[in-house]
Amino acid sequence: MKNLERVAPLLLIAISVVVAGLFAYVATSRTLTNLESVLLQSFSLLAGLGGSFIFGRHSARVAAREIIKPHARSAFRRLFSLYQSLSRVAKTIASSQHPESSVEYQVTLARVEAIVIEQLATADDALEDWRDIVPEDVKELDPRYFPDNTTNEG
């Protein structure tokens, strides 16, 4: 698929140039009818515009990634640090829940735990958002690849 994205615009632009050259050659060797002239020029124009559009879209995507990449890496690290911190809070809450504790204490811990779980879910969503933007960097820093990862899995 990626090869097609690279080859298609070049192929369309090449076709456009070949058709324009063919048009020039045929026009110098004989007189073209109005219909032939319009069709050859239209085909050349459409192929050139299509190739330019696809090539421009790909170039803009690459340029945007290069602009975002330095910022994304540091922002992802901060988000991952927040995720780890929330995970440690969740573990602390889980280890602080004792059956002999007062009901009020248990209710307070349950509320705090719910808030932390909600924040962890938001952090998970944000990590997935970053995966859409800079997948290579996220894969490199992905929590699943950190051996000391402390998540609250239930």
Per residue in 29-61, pLDDT (tens digit) is: 888 888 888 888 888 888 888 888 888 888 888
Q: Tokens at residue 108, please?
A: 């307070």
Q: Is the pLDDT score of 108 beyond 80?
A: yes
Give Dmax (Cα) for the chain.
Answer: 101
Backbone angles phi, psi at 27, to 5 degrees: -65, -30
Estimate the crossing angle of helix 103-133 against helix 34-96, to 10 degrees.
Answer: 160
Least confident of 1-10, 49-58, 138-147: 138-147
| Separation between Cα atoms, residue 133 and residue 143, nearest integer Å | 17
Convert the pLDDT of each residue in 57-106 to its tens digit. Answer: 888 888 887 887 777 777 777 887 888 888 888 888 887 777 777 888 88
> Which residue has better confidence, 34 or 140?
34
| Separation between Cα atoms, residue 84 and residue 152, nearest integer Å | 10
Query: In one letter, which amino acid is 129?
Result: D
Q: Is the pLDDT score of 18 beyond 70?
A: yes
Backbone angles phi, psi at 33, to 5 degrees: -75, 165
User: 45 with 13: CB under 8 angstroms?
Assistant: no
